[in-house]
Structure 1
Amino acid sequence: MKSPSATLLAEVRTFRQNHPDVRYVDLIALDIPGHFYGKRYPVEMLEKVAAGSPLKLPQNAVLLGAQGGLFKIGDYCFNDGDPDANRRLVPGTLKPVNWESQPLGQMLITSDGTEAPIEFEPREVLAKVLERLQHQGIHPVVAFELEFYLFDKQLENGLPQFARDPLSGDADDQPNLHIERLSRFSDVLDDMAQTAKDQGIDITVITAEIGPGQFEINFGHCDDGLRAADWAALFCRSTRGVALKQGYRASFMAKPYLQFPGSGMHVHVSLYDAAGNNLLAAHQQQPLRHAVAGCLELLPQCMPIFSPNHNAFRRLGGTVNAATRASWGFEDRDACVRIPDSDPRNLRIEHRPASADANPYLVLAAILVGLEHGLEAKREPIAPLNEDRNSGTDFPVEMLDAVRAMQQQPVLRDKLGAEFVDVYCENKRQDHLAFQQEIHAREYRWFL
């Protein structure tokens, strides 16, 4: 078998042979708010990294706020000397970029798997959860679904405008699910899908959603949780790039229009043992009920992960299919945890609360911790919505309340890591307070 460095070196050399016009490669990783940071490397230097040369970036790049600023979080950022931390290349992610004006490549990097992983790096948080489940003989299979909006490329007074129908030139301002919308926007949607496939992402179903210019892309079921989250992260990056190239803006913002549905990140998860048996389907599906109970129990304390910003909380209780209470149900899209109709082999949960702009690594980590907690605690869930339309438990609908709940939750501190929970909650708290520092024109209208 090849060593990791030999495999990476072969990947880089094959890439250079296939793409001789590419001079630079973006080495990228996701920070806490879900934005990519990294460095642009000359491709010849990438060979040296693949061969074993150190790859270091500032540790605190992971802590950037939503606008890219640094917050004082404990001793991080301002009292720690801003140290570098080792990163490694993620095999299989070196791909060409086709949405830039010049030939370019990109490749994921991470601290997980290094000698000193960053405890609060999102990919490392998920990696630890998956490793623990593997030691318990639990193997998740995961599929993400992501909704997004297309806007006109030009903003008007800083506000998004409806995407123009390429056929008529008119604004696509009629919310509907019509299949014709896929045809009218086929050029940009086909480019998005092909670009995603070129990145190694398994794209399946494309749907025109209810909102004007709103679409949903489904990914294939993947037995590698890290790769599934990689797909979701990379898809957001490539989709925004392709939209700009095609004369649009694409956004995964949770609630761009108050009067239209928000955009969600739905995650399908099934659990298997080493022999391929569906653990949720055993014993007349009793483990499924326990897993649902665990998800619902921890959902209120996980809201800062599922709704990671001020706008994401606006999506809750929206026009359609966005619950305001922790609930579950069979084939019920009003529920936070939906059980799709399936045979025992494919029995799974669909976790629906997360907004489309949430961090996919952390969303999946939180869902898996809920499932794990439920299987351990073996509690019965509340009644499903199919039996009681009023069933459900309350969860925080404001960021500061949600952060307080998350920071004090012992199961999350244990299974996600106390250091991560403290860092993440302070990052969200500081982001929220920074958002409140700007006086909006509405305040002058109301109070001047």
Structure 2
Amino acid sequence: MKSHSSTLLAEVRTFRQNHPDVRYVDLICLDIPGRFYGKRYPVEMLEKVAAGSPLKLPQNAVLLGAQGGLFKIGDYCFHDGDPDANRRLVPGTLKPVSWEAQPLGQMLITSDGTEAPIEFEPREVLAKVLERLHRKGIHPVVAFELEFYLFDRKLADGLPQFARDPLSDDPDDQPTLHIERLSRFAPVLDDMVQTAQAQGIDITVITAELGPGQFEINFGHLDDGLRAADWAALFCRSTRGVALKHGYRASFMAKPYLQHPGSGMHVHVSLYDAAGNNLLAAHQQQPLRHAVAGCLELLPHCMPIFSPNHNAFRRLGGTVNAATKACWGYEDRDACVRIPESDPRNLRIEHRLASADANPYLVLAAILVGLEHGLDAAREPIAPLNEDRDSGHHFPLEMLEAVRAMQQQPALREGLGAEFVDVYCENKRQDHLAFQQEINAREYRWYL
């Protein structure tokens, strides 16, 4: 503990020396819907926390709904006295914030690794899954890919407007999948990449996607699943800030336009033993097939994680590269679980179903539980799409049905934690019901 505190204290002191103009640091953590909450600390107080002073925030902050409100979930929120819970600083995450008007810093905090972790905190859920896999001798290597849209900063009657191309105001004049679009939006994209790199995030490939103003960012592979999910979460935060600075609005909303492709979160996962051997490639890739079978079996029960809100389910309507069944295939982007072509050393799955606004900690945890379940059960998967284009298991396409499917699944309750599953499902059910409590203009047009 003393060594850990010494490392953190050295990190804070080095940061203060390198950034003497920073007076405050945002201590941030991801809640269930995937939004950051936290506190803005004077930097001198942060030094005290790094030295061992307690850091506490309300436990129920993790339970916030999509709009920030609290729901009654069991005895939480309104019958538990709203207790504080200990958090700890995440080493290596103290970085400068360059997109705000004043000099700031930010640092991740978490309850995992404390004496009483919060069972339903997303980072803690993933930490438990990774710890269990490590005890089994399984060491995941992970890389995220995130799609997002750029919009004009100003909304028009509450609706998003296409990002204004420097060469044209016509959204149809944005070249799809063309390198030229990267050049047209180079100033904001370059700033996004440089800002992410300043946060310690390894950005690799940038792609202009199919939608107007839509892009994809790839991250480097990591043998630390928590850090990989940290990167995805932090990238969303910095990218929104940088976009506003340039007069745009960056959004990871799953389906902002019905007529254009949605935005997804693709996760590459390979599994290794302690000696560095790829476990999926052993025995003529039989473990790969078992892992795929487990992923597909649990996928219909993980839909509240992969599609965490009403809008995210709109993305699953059969548009480009968005699967409508739990299916798999080799080099097939219509599959939920794609097996990219690779040598045995780098054999991996690419999980393509989650929306870009899903919680990266929970998405990765659900994928890993599926892989683990498949390896333990050792069953053969259904036929790949390469052999049968109709192959696949149906999955729920609306939230309340999805919640029912998730809450009663024994392997998920065991793999993710029964308390987390119950809390998460009730949070999603309440959020969905709250979303319905508004009559929109279409209802008046149809039924008045």
User: Structure 1 residues 317, 225: CA separation in 2 closer, same or farther (over 3 Å shift)?
Assistant: same
2: distance between equivalents of 1:92 and 1:181? 34
| 1:317 shift after superposition | 2.6
- Aligned to 1:335, the other structure's residue is in SS state coil
Shift of residue 168, structure 1, vs aligned partner: 3.6
Change in CA separation of 1:434 and 1:175 when aligned onto 2, cut-off 3 Å: farther
Native 8 Å contact 2:307 2:355 kept in 1? yes
Task: Provide, for residues 298-347 of structure 1, a one-character-per-residue CA deviation record: whole Å limited to 9, x for no partner.
Answer: 00000000000000000003420000100000000000000000000000
2:331 and 2:209 mapped to 1: Cα distance?
A: 18
- Partner Cα distance (1:186, 1:215) in 2: 12
The CA distance in 1 between the partners of 2:6 and 2:169, in whole Å, is 52
Give the Cα–Cα distance (whole angstroms) in 2 for the partners of residues 165 and 354 of structure 1: 29
Deviations 1:226-260 (A, max 9, x none): 00000000000000000000100000000000000
TM-score, normalising length: structure 2: 0.99
Distance 1:276 1:369 in 2: 21
| CA shift for structure 1 position 169 | 5.0
Distance 1:4 1:263 in 2: 39
Shift of 1:171: 4.2
Contact 2:323 2:353 in 1 (8 A): yes
The CA deviation string for residues 145-166 of structure 1, in whole angstroms up to 9 with x for no partner, is: 0000000011000000000012
Q: Is 1:274–2:239 an aligned residue pair? A: no
Q: Is the 8 A contact 2:165 2:174 kept in 1?
A: no
Query: 1:268-325: CA deviations, max 9, x gaps?
Result: 0000000000000000000000000000000000000000000000000342000010
Native 8 Å contact 2:90 2:107 kept in 1: yes
- Residue by residue, what CA displacement relative to the aligned partner does 1:166-189 show, whole Å, maximum 9, x if unpaired? 234554664611110000000000
- Using the alignment, how far apart are the partners of 1:178 and 1:375 within structure 2? 40
Q: Secondary structure at the match of 1:93?
A: coil
Gaps of 5+ in 2: none
Does the aligned pair in 2 maintain the 1:262–1:318 contact within 8 Å?
Answer: no
- Equivalent position SS for 1:164: coil
CA contact (8 A) 2:406 2:412 kept: yes
SS at match of 2:368: helix
Quote the offset at 1:2 in angstroms.
7.0
Aligned counterparts of 2:90 and 2:157: Cα–Cα separation in 1: 41
After superposition, the Cα gap between the structure-2 partners of 1:403 and 1:445, relative to the gap in structure 1 and judged at 3 Å, is same
Partner residue in 2 for 1:325: 325
By how many angstroms is 1:119 displaced? 0.0
- Rounded to whole Å, the distance in 2 between the matches of 1:302 and 1:281 is 26
Task: Report the Cα distance in structure 2 between the residues aligned to 1:19 and 1:325, rounded to whole angstroms.
Answer: 50
- In structure 2, the partner of 1:369 is 369
- Contact persistence 1:175–1:211 (CA under 8 A): no
Distance between the aligned counterparts of 2:342 and 2:61, measured in 1? 42
Match of 1:334, SS state, is: coil
CA distance in 1, matches of 2:2, 2:211: 49
Q: Could you tell me whether the CA contact under 8 Å between 1:322 and 1:353 is conserved in 2?
A: yes
Contact 1:261 1:318 (C-alpha < 8 Å) held by counterparts: no
Q: Measured at CA, do residues 245 and 172 of structure 1 come closer, stay the same or move farther in structure 2, by a change above 3 Å?
A: farther
Whether the 8 Å CA contact 1:290–1:377 is kept in 2: the answer is yes
Q: Which sits farther off after the overlay, 145-154 or 310-319?
A: 310-319
Q: Retained in 2: the 8 A contact 1:290–1:381?
A: yes
Q: CA deviation at 1:39?
A: 0.1
TM-score, normalised relative to structure 1: 0.99
Q: Distance in 2 between matches of 1:7 and 1:185?
A: 40
Identity among equivalent pairs (%): 90
Cα-to-partner distance string for 1:389-443 (whole Å, 9 max, x where unaligned): 0100100001000000000000000110000000000000000000000111100
Q: Is the 8 A contact 1:304 1:428 kept in 2?
A: yes
Q: Distance in 1 between matches of 2:124 and 2:73?
A: 19
Q: Is the 8 A contact 1:164 1:172 kept in 2?
A: no
Matched, 1:301 2:301: yes
Q: Provide the aligned C-alpha RMSD in A.
A: 1.0
**Separation of aligned partners in 1, 2:367 and 2:337:** 10
Most deviating of 164-173 and 113-122: 164-173
CA contact (8 A) 1:140 1:270 kept: yes
- Conserved? CA contact 2:313–2:398, under 8 Å: yes
Q: In structure 2, how many angstroms separate the alpha carbons of the residues matched to 1:318 and 1:182?
A: 27
Separation (CA, whole Å) in 1 of partners of 2:96 and 2:307: 32
**CA–CA separation in structure 2 for the residues paired with 1:183 and 1:435:** 39
User: Per-residue displacement from partner, 1:8-28 (whole Å, max 9, x unpaired)?
Assistant: 000000000000000000000
Comparing 310-319 and 337-346, the one that deviates more: 310-319
Other structure's SS at 1:87 match:
strand
Distance 1:155 1:171 in 2: 16
Q: In the alignment, is the contact (CA less than 8 A) between 2:174 and 2:181 conserved in 1?
A: no
Relative to structure 1, is the Cα distance of residues 175 and 261 closer, same or farther in structure 2, using a 3 angstrom cutoff? Answer: farther
Q: Deviations over 1:375-398 (max 9, x none)?
A: 000000000000000100100001
Instruction: Give CA-to-partner distance per residue, 1:85-124, whole Å, 9 cap, x none.
Output: 0000000000000000000000000000000000000000
Summarize deviations over 1:201-222 as a string: whole Å, max 9, x none.
Answer: 0100000000000000000000
